[in-house]
Structure 1
Amino acid sequence: MSSQLFSVSGKVVLVTGGSRGIGLMIAEGFVDAGAKVYISSRSKSVCDAEAARLSAKGPGKCISIPADLQKLEEVHRLVAEIAKREPYLHVLVNNAGATWGEDISSYPDEGFEKVLSLNLKRIFSLIQASLPLLEAAAVPLDPARIINIGSVDGIHVPLLETYAYSASKAGLHHLSRHLASKLGSRYITVNNIAPGPFESKMMKATLESAKDQIVASVPLGRIGSPADMAGVCIYLSSKAGAYVNGATIAVDGGLLVHAKSHI
């Protein structure tokens, strides 16, 4: 039993925003563990290149299906493309997201709308569209899994003026709990991961300007590594995580428990 407890070999996985940053860390971890991974992002060239690189290193496979998930029709096209290739989907990782930082006096309506749409509404749309594929993979002792990538900024109040981002992630955490209560009886679990500081495009400017301060706020004294993120996703997707449902797991090196107000 122990040798298979954390196995995801042969599972079919979709990682949105899987061509860079945290999404790429997750996708690479699943490929390294022998899964068949579909990645999606807006940039076809980057998505195709990363899928080819991951497939070449194996042992799993990676397939690129570029899509602009701000658009509802693209959400449905993505699921239809996977359904052409696969009879089921074992794991859906909702990682694609956006942020917008601006002073409250000039924070634009279009910025709030963009962030809320991609980070919350379209995640719900993709889950809706993916349910038939997830249900086809679901069995009582090894459910299908939905993993939503939230943020520590959806738990505490961030220092930066990223109002729509923190609101969207807090909303995603609660949406996930609501979905977990409804989909568990269909043998589909729904959990959140709330990352702290990781190397990503979204965090690049913040890390460039305040990396020492951020590292000092983390009890473990470092930025998160790709293995830190991939490991939690693999745990939640394996038999080891089969009874975890409705949880929000902070992967932050202890930042939240160490944080002062407004850190």
Structure 2
Amino acid sequence: MDIRIIRARGRVDYARALGEVDEVDRRFQGDTTASYNHVPGELCALAMRRPESGLSINGARWGFAPDNDIGKRYGPQPFAQVETAMDKPYFSEAWLHHRYLVCACGWTIVRNRGTEREAWHVRPRDGEPVFLLALGAPVHWSAVDGFSVLVAPAPGKLAELAPRVPVTMPGSLARFWMDPGLTPHERTTLASRTMMGNAFEWSRVTQHAMNPDMDGPALLLRAPKMGERVHGYNADEWWEKPKGKR
């Protein structure tokens, strides 16, 4: 499964989408760096809630391994299947106690079609911020050492692009995922309520989006159709990732 996370909005937008109203501009000033091509192993904006400090949104590395023999044996995993995560020793502790949200604007699916590889940008039809349900390591000093994105069978026509996609929700629903008081039934029910296929739109994008070392909004430009003349790209709209952030 090759899925890239896209986040182009600031932390303030995501905090408001999660229902925060008090001193949002002050509490979430500054930002984590936007990215149009997050791949596993990189830092993503992760929302978490703690009783003593409330909501925080900080960078966390994509890929989680529990601190036990199983985690050492298999290493960090970027994804967790929603149907089995609660029962697997690898994710069971995180399912109970360490539930987070990845701040996103959508994602890119890279798929094989015959002998070709294609990149497709998937985004919410209404253009609003969305959140990907995640499991991860315990919080230490407002930081999380790794997370896995929950994935579920693709709803509706999204299944034509990929068999599985991230469990995605608007802030009004996703915020409950961080509630430590969720019952087992509530956790299972909430995790099954990913946005339906008709809530998304998607388009094929340029080959540059497949390169994990590239970034920038031009990666989301629609791929030219047969017969269209291509004049090139604005050099200010795509760039190579700094080596320290890969």
Give the TM-score normalised by structure 1: 0.27
Q: Which has the higher strand share?
A: 2
Q: Which has the higher helix share?
A: 1
Give the TM-score normalised by structure 2: 0.29
